[in-house]
């Protein structure tokens, strides 16, 4: 499965795309926690609060479908997961 790191996440990592093996019966939240361990501290702070919980403002999509419940099991045929922190601008 491809993990696409969008916005500031992609800018803070060596690569905005991570190939990650999907393990059966994995929730989106668990997968995001696992991915965070591979990211620089600055990128982790865009995804996690200081207590390690996931930020609710993180945009998550599975195969181009916006996902709100991060406790959802990832379907075994999933091709990509998109993670994007909120963007500020003007």
Segment 47-52 shows an average pLDDT of 93
Residue 63 has pLDDT above 70, yes or no: yes
* pTM exceeds 0.85 for this model: yes
Report the pLDDT value the prediction gives residue 89, as an integer from 0 to 100: 53
Question: pLDDT of 15-40, one tens digit each?
Answer: 899 999 988 899 999 999 999 998 99
| Structure confidence at residue 74 as a pLDDT band (50, 70, 90) | very high
Kindly state the tokens that stand for 61: 């999509």
DSSP 30-55: HHHHHHHTTS-HHHHHHHB-TTSPBP
Report the pLDDT value the prediction gives residue 90, as an integer from 0 to 100: 46
Segment 64-81 shows an average pLDDT of 93
For residues 53 and 55, give the distance between their C-alpha atoms in angstroms, rounded to a whole number.
7
Residue 84 has pLDDT above 70, yes or no: yes
Domain architecture of the chain: domains with CATH: 2-84 (3.10.20.30)
For residues 87 and 38, give the distance between their C-alpha atoms in angstroms, rounded to a whole number.
22
Who contacts 39 (Cβ-Cβ below 8 Å, separation ≥6)? Answer: 5, 9, 12, 13, 47
**Neighbour count for residue 71 (Cβ, 10 Å):** 8
């Amino acid at each position: 499965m491809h993990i696409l790191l969008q916005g500031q996440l992609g800018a803070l990592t060596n690569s905005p795309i991570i190939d990650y093996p999907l393990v059966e019966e994995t929730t989106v939240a668990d997968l995001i926690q696992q991915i965070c361990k591979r990211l620089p501290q600055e990128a982790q702070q865009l995804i996690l609060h200081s207590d390690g919980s996931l930020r609710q403002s993180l945009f998550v999509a599975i195969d181009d479908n916006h996902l709100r419940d991060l406790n959802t099991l990832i379907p075994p045929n999933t091709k990509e997961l998109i993670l994007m922190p909120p963007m500020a601008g003007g």
